Structure 1
Amino acid sequence: MRALEASRRLSRAIFTAASSSRLELLSSLDCHRSTAAASVGHGHAPLLRSPWLATQHRGVKVNASHVKPGNVIEKTGKIYRVLDAEHKQQGRGGAMMQMELRDVDTGNKVSLRFGTEEAVERVFVQEKSFTLLYTENEVAYLIESDTFEQVEVPLDLFGKAAAYLKDEMKVKLQLFDGKPLSASIPKRATCTIKEVHANVKGQTVTPRYTKALLDNGLTILVPSYLESGEEIFVNTEDDSYIGRAK
């Protein structure tokens, strides 16, 4: 525990120091931008701060049946992140797509229906890789290794996958106009079995799988021959056992 706390303190120190350095660098860059802008003659368009922003709002028309959770769509001038998309049959009325959406600007959830062949504007998002420094008070502190950019995002951006977060884990953020919309982790994570549920007393045949409590608090099914203290690989998408880590 002392070693873990020391590691987190070091991560916080690095985060704070890197933030200060980055602010100084941005200040210097702003000065250079101002000088460059002053030297640009009339009739010349100013340089874009980020090429991504020039194409951020460009999307593509797709059938509603092709929209998946995690996608970002535009509807009546509003931008939504798709939380869930379910195909439903409406009897003689034909098939429909029932979508649970979150308004990117307000954070409010809405439920909308689309015809399966109805055209939907799917908006492209930017995906960036980060390293998790540590988590604290329902917040994840991340850093990009190449630019040392730091961000703080709420753990709920990771959804149920937040249970697998560990210091120094590589994660990805999906952003729209620089605003984090969602976050994802690797499909495979290493966990330690904390406790294996005992077999039912009087059972004559040993079951192939048994429930096991992991060090992150999740309970999954593992082969019955595994014991407490063993490290295993787990599929973070469906919480299924993959194999021994060693």
Structure 2
Amino acid sequence: MPKINGNEIRPGAILEHDGGLWAAVKVNHVKPGKGGAFAQVELKNLRDGRKLNERFRSEDKVDEVTLENKDQQFLYETDGRLVFMDAETYEQIEIDADLLGDRRPFLQDGMTATVLFYGEEPLSVKIPQKVKCRVVEAEPVMNGQTASKSFKPAVLDNGVRIMVPPFVGPDEDIIVHTELMEYSERA
């Protein structure tokens, strides 16, 4: 693993620190009036989700880890575990459904997702940024509502509640931005 200086840590970097794998969420470079400069780094543990604030001086050395991205096809869910298959080798792996968090309902059968591996251990799952969903329930348009900046609540076919523009009705397909959990466009 390559070692980097403490002042070279950037947001999104994966570090091996204190015997765990951590993702740098926020990095703030500080130059106090007295003493040496340092990087104040907010870290998130990739295995258990713990957060940690750590100071790294420029002379501190940390191990930067490179994760391997593999495209995997989602097959099914069983007992809180998601089963994915490698399209090239047909190998199947099981991943804890909690890794996806709030984005879990957007994972659809047959969907291709990117799984991040550290060696043979799957650490994270990235689903496509935009997913097609069907609106199953939406409030009717009220008189006086205009198309500018007015939204109404709707329920999608996966059970997620989001806000949609007034022109979207039940049984319509829409595109949802999975990271922001909001309406993007009509399908």
TM-score range, shorter chain: 0.7 to 0.9
Please list the CA deviations of residues 66-123 of structure 1 after superposition, one character each: whole Å capped at 9, or x if unmatched. Answer: 132xx420225x231327436497986877534233275xx47351322586664321
TM norm structure 2: 0.80
Which of structures 1 and 2 has the bigger CA Rg?
1
Counterparts of 2:46 and 2:129, CA distance in 1: 27
Q: Which residue does 1:50 correspond to in 2?
A: none
Which of 66, 72, 85 lines up with 2:10 in the alignment? Answer: 66
Counterpart of 1:79?
20
Q: Which amino acid aligns with 1:205?
A: Q
**CA distance in structure 2 between the aligned counterparts of 1:198 and 1:87, rounded to whole angstroms:** 47
Q: Residues 200-211 of structure 1: matches in 2 within 5 Å? A: 204-206=144-146, 208-211=150-153
User: Structure 2 CA distance, aligned partners of 1:183 and 1:159?
Assistant: 10
Return the letter of the residue paired with 2:145: V
**Aligned residue in 1 for 2:76:** 134
**Separation of aligned partners in 2, 1:163 and 1:231:** 16
Identity of aligned residues (%): 23
> Aligned residue for 1:244?
186
Q: Which runs of 5+ in 2 are unaligned?
A: none
Deviates more, 1:146-155 or 1:116-125: 116-125
How many angstroms apart in 2 are the aligned matches of 1:197 and 1:83?
41
Which secondary structure does the structure 2 equivalent of 1:141 belong to?
strand
The residue aligned with 1:37 is none
Task: Give the equivalent residue in structure 2 for 1:26.
Answer: none
1: CA distance between counterparts of 2:21 and 2:153? 38
Alpha carbons 2:131, 2:175 under 8 Å: kept: yes
If asked which structure has higher relative contact order (CA below 8 Å, sep 6+), I would say: 2
Consecutive unaligned residues in structure 1, runs of 5 or more: 1-57
**Cα distance in 2 between the residues matched to 1:159 and 1:150:** 21
Q: Give distance in 2, aligned partners of 1:166 and 1:187.
A: 13
**Conserved 8 A contact 1:131-1:142:** yes
Counting helix residues as a fraction of each chain, which structure ranks higher? 1
Q: RMSD of aligned C-alpha atoms?
A: 3.0
